[in-house]
Amino acid sequence: MGRAIARLAVWHRNAATRRVLRELPERELADIGLTPMDAAMEASRPFWDGSAGIVAERARRS
């Protein structure tokens, strides 16, 4: 049961993070090294997809 709750928490965090990313203005996206297209691609990923996306890839390059 604990693993299921932990997974739900991760899914909730993924959804919330992607929702915030979708709403960031272009200037703030540029501050974190993303384009609006990058943000749209990341935000469109399903909440259950926890694999590293464009945001993680860009962070590794920095």
Query: What is the C-alpha separation between 61 and 44, in angstroms, rounded?
Result: 22
Per-residue pLDDT, 59: 63
- pLDDT of the residue at 50: 80
Helix (H, G, I), strand (E, B) or coil at 51: coil
Instruction: Give residue 51's pLDDT.
Output: 73
In tens digits, the chain (62 residues) has pLDDT values of 899 999 999 999 999 999 999 999 999 999 988 999 999 999 999 999 987 666 666 666 66
Q: In this structure, are residues 55 and 42 in contact, taking their beta carbons and an 8 Å threshold?
A: yes
CA count, 13 A, side-chain hemisphere, 48: 1
* Confidence (pLDDT) at 55: 65
Q: What pLDDT is stored for residue 26 in this prediction?
A: 97
For residue 24, the one-letter residue type is: L
Q: Which of 60, 62, 61, 52 is nearest to 17 (CA)?
A: 52
Number of domains in the chain: 1
Range of the domain at 16: 2-61
